[in-house]
Every structure is written in structure tokens, then in C-alpha cells.
Chains A and B, each alone.
Chain A
């Protein structure tokens, strides 16, 4: 998108050694891809609302059909905001409750390991990933929150290093310390932290790589690689 600035290309290509291609916001043809990643950044300058304009772009319009045909979608930071604006995920991301732009390392407790994005993790495992956002407070109405809990759609929550869900561990005031969620089918993941910034030891940690490795495992298992 105009204004997207986070580099997933490097991680997919150099850390995972998988083919990856950039798409432009006007592209509608998603055939031949296993996963579409919506990266972080400030698409369209966060005008109107963060992710609001990008969420209505042609490439995002093409995502529901892509997902229905078996594709996976990962949205990080601004990508998560875009997915909520496009109604591919429920809820909204609002201004951080502290009103500060938070650029820091966070601990995330893994809440659901039965998803394509987390199958390589342990239930309750605490991961370390950085965040960098001013509008990351996850909000949803009470009945939506209840549905997320009931359907096990909450995948990551902000936690202490010991896995406790505390207010101090919550950098932006997200309801129920929610840091990442999936759709009901488990094929679309949105999270505010940046897994691509925790993908090599030189970056300070490799916990983010677990998300990509989990997804690769899923793609191998469901035969996607054989279709190429």
C-alpha cells in the first residue's frame, strides 16, 4: 500500500528461503499465492482512520475470495488494522490508552495452538516480539468479545514473562490484553506485534519465526506445495 513500510519480504526470502512477491494495492489477481501478508506501516498516512483507506483497496477487496479458495492471510500492525476495517476480522484498533506511541518489546502468551499460524507453538508459551504503534488498543463490543472467547479466536495476549495477564504487561489498553486474533475458520490472523522483527538472532530474537514456520507446516501438510 502507499505508506506500508515493514519488511516481510526479507524474512520470507532470506530466513525461510521461500518464494515471495510484492503486490500493489491495485492488484486483484491473487492466484498462485498461498498466503497474503499485509505489513505494518502507515498506509495512506492513517488518513480517516488507520487502515481505513487501505481496507477498501482492490487487493484487500480480493481477499475474501482468496480466503474462500483456501488462501491464508496474515496482517501485522497496520495490516491488522486493515483487516478489521475490511471486516475480515472483528473489532477495531484504537488510539493507545496511554496516548503514547509505544515502541518496545512485549511478551505474548499463546492462547490457541490449533491454528495454522501457531501449530508449532506450545499452549501457554510466552513469546517475545516488538510492537511499534500509536493505535493498537484492540476494542470490540461485548457480544463480539464473548464470541471470540467462545470460538477460541484469541491467539495472543499481552503477558508478563511468566505468562500472567496484567495491566502492566498491556502496552496499549487492549481489551482482555488481546494482541492477536484469527477469523472463525482460522485462516486469517491479525496481530499488532511485528513477527518480522523477531525473525533472526541479529534482530534480538526469533520467536516471530514460529508463526511463519507453523504456516509452512500447514501448507506442506495440505499439499499446497505440491500444487506449484
Chain B
């Protein structure tokens, strides 16, 4: 079962990469961007019998290695309708 994990910086933490990209977009004429933050998507194929089981394993992976609680915080996300997987926003 495919699990898509979104890892983002916690609100309030300065995202220097996002700031840099926002500035670059402004230089390209996209001056209507008020904020931009960059995260990363990690797709994990988990051998699980149920969605809940896959989500639990993904949660454990996130806490164990994929995300660090110092700079990111877990936040559940709804399943995308176009795939059979589930997504967890971290």
C-alpha cells in the first residue's frame, strides 16, 4: 500500500529556501505570491493489510527517521482521491 508523506517545517520556523524561491518568482513577474514554503514528499510502499495499519507504520517511520520533531510536526491529511494510497502531512 502506498503512503505519501509530506514533510514540512513547523509554522514559525524561517524557511530560507522558500523565501529565496519566492524572491525568484517575483523576479519572473509573479509578484502576487504572498508566501511560499518548501517541503518534501516521501512515498513509501508499505506491506500492510489495512489502511490503518499502513498509516500506523508510516507514523512510526516518521517519528523514527523520516521527520525530526524539532523542526517539523505531524498533521494528518486526507487521502488523495486519485490513488489508493493515504497521505500523512508531517
CB distance from B77 to the nearest CB of A (A): 20
CB distance from B49 to the nearest CB of A (A): 27
Interface stretch, picked from B25-33, B52-60, B65-73, B80-88, is B65-73
Task: Compute how far the CA of A84 lies from the CA of B17 in the bound complex, rounded to whole angstroms.
Answer: 21
The chain B residue sitting closest to A95, CB to CB, is: B16
The chain A residue sitting closest to B17, CB to CB, is: A95
CB distance from A43 to the nearest CB of B (A): 14
Let me know if A48 and B70 touch, CB within 8 A. no
Let me know if A48 and B65 touch, CB within 8 A. yes
* Cβ contacts under 8 Å, A12 to chain B: none
Q: A97-B14, A97-B16, A139-B13 are in contact. Are A91 and B65 (CB under 8 A)?
A: no
Give the interface size class of chain B.
Answer: 10 to 19
Q: A48-B66, A52-B65 are in contact. Are A139 and B16 (CB under 8 A)?
A: no
Task: Compute how far the CA of A84 lies from the CA of B71 in the bound complex, rounded to whole angstroms.
Answer: 12
Task: Compute how far the CA of A53 lies from the CA of B65 in the bound complex, rounded to whole angstroms.
Answer: 8
CB distance from B43 to the nearest CB of A (A): 14
* Tally of chain A residues near chain B (CB < 8 A): 20
CB distance from A50 to the nearest CB of B (A): 11
Describe A's contact surface by its main secondary structure: loop
Let me know if A139 and B65 touch, CB within 8 A. no
Let me know if B16 and A99 touch, CB within 8 A. yes
* Cβ contacts under 8 Å, A92 to chain B: 68, 70-71
* Cβ contacts under 8 Å, B20 to chain A: 99
Is A94 engaged at the interface, CB distance under 8 Å to the other chain?
Answer: yes
Is A85 engaged at the interface, CB distance under 8 Å to the other chain?
Answer: yes
Within 8 A of B (CB), among A50-108: 52-53, 56, 84-85, 90-92, 94-99
Is A49 engaged at the interface, CB distance under 8 Å to the other chain?
Answer: yes
Is A20 engaged at the interface, CB distance under 8 Å to the other chain?
Answer: no
Q: A95-B17, A97-B16, A139-B13 are in contact. Are A49 and B70 (CB under 8 A)?
A: no
Task: Compute how far the CA of A49 lies from the CA of B40 in the bound complex, rounded to whole angstroms.
Answer: 11
Most A C-beta atoms less than 10 A away, residue of B13, B64, B68: B68
When A and B form their complex, which 8 residue pairs have the shortest distance between CB atoms, in order from nearest? A92-B70, A92-B71, A97-B16, A99-B16, A95-B16, A99-B20, A56-B65, A92-B68
Q: List chain A positions with a Cβ less than 8 A from chain B.
A: 48-49, 52-53, 56, 84-85, 90-92, 94-99, 139-141, 173
Interface CB pairs A-B, < 8 A, 22: A48-B65, A48-B66, A52-B65, A53-B65, A56-B64, A56-B65, A84-B70, A92-B70, A94-B13, A94-B71, A95-B16, A95-B17, A96-B16, A97-B14, A98-B16, A99-B16, A99-B17, A99-B20, A139-B13, A139-B70, A140-B70, A173-B14
